[in-house]
Amino acid sequence: MDYAIQYFEKIDSTNTYLYRLALQGEPEYSVVFADEQTAGKGRRGRSFLSPKGNVYMSFVIRPNRPIDTLHLITPMVAVAVQEAIEELFQISCGIKWVNDLYYNKRKVCGILTEVHPMEDGTAEFCIIGIGINLCNDDSLKELNHKAGSILTLNSVDLEIRKALCIKIMDRFRLYYENDSMDFMNRYRDYSILIGKEVTYITQSESRTVKVVNINNNGELVVDDHGEIFSYYDGEIQLKNF
């Protein structure tokens, strides 16, 4: 599939840039790709460290659906990224609910979905941002003990990184343009949490629970000392991988 890909050696944030374009009508599946970000954004207002030579990409979708039906987009993207990496590098990452990819017990990819709402409660567009640490970069390890990289190489050709970006788009479209929930079975297969004892953390509490499943609403189903709960949001800490 062909995509309109705008490439930058350096940018503040591919999400911020594409959001501005989308406000002016940028069409669905336009992609922005950068080698390096100076103000990469993460979830919950955090920053996302974005050293040179990795994959920082964003794309726009115009789902034309109520905002409360969009929560499965991010898991869909996580599956697409997992499968694109597997196809290109024969490396299997695991998905840590809700939207991080892990390899060798370290986070190697984060996904940030930003929704532009309309007054009637539908989404005018979503910007989906994906940051993948492909290359071995000491700054990632020094600054964030949890971050790692997919490859042990120090650099990867731009053409290969672009090929990964295109594979992610193709994979995503396969699921997004099809009404099937098959991607959620895959999401569960790739999950590194199901069956594990984890710490579930919210602003007000932190408790040890066992992950039983991830349901088709994308909620984490946990067993908390015999009681079953489903969570739609929150942070998870894994005790033992």
Residues that bind ligand BTN (CB under 6 A): 13-15, 37, 40-43, 46, 48, 56-58, 100, 110-112, 129-131
Count of positions (residues) in the chain:
241
Q: In the complex, which residue's CB is closest to ligand BTN?
A: 110
Q: How far is the CB of 199 from ligand BTN (least distance, A)?
A: 18
Q: How far is the CB of 8 from ligand BTN (least distance, A)?
A: 11
Residue with Cβ nearer ligand BTN (44 or 239) = 44
Closest CA to 132 of 59, 191, 48, 71: 48
Residue with Cβ nearer ligand BTN (38 or 216) = 38
Q: How far is the CB of 74 from ligand BTN (least distance, A)?
A: 10
- 141: DSSP letter: H
CA angle, residues 117, 120, 126, in degrees to nearest 5: 25
Residue with Cβ nearer ligand BTN (160 or 212) = 160
Q: How far is the CB of 56 from ligand BTN (least distance, A)?
A: 4
Residue with Cβ nearer ligand BTN (33 or 176) = 33
Q: How far is CA 239 from CA 67, 88, 95, 111, 221, in A?
A: 34, 31, 16, 23, 17
Kind of pairing between the strands at 31-34 and 5-8: parallel
Query: Cβ(129)–Cβ(109) under 8 Å?
Result: no
- 71: DSSP letter: T
Q: How far is the CB of 11 from ligand BTN (least distance, A)?
A: 9
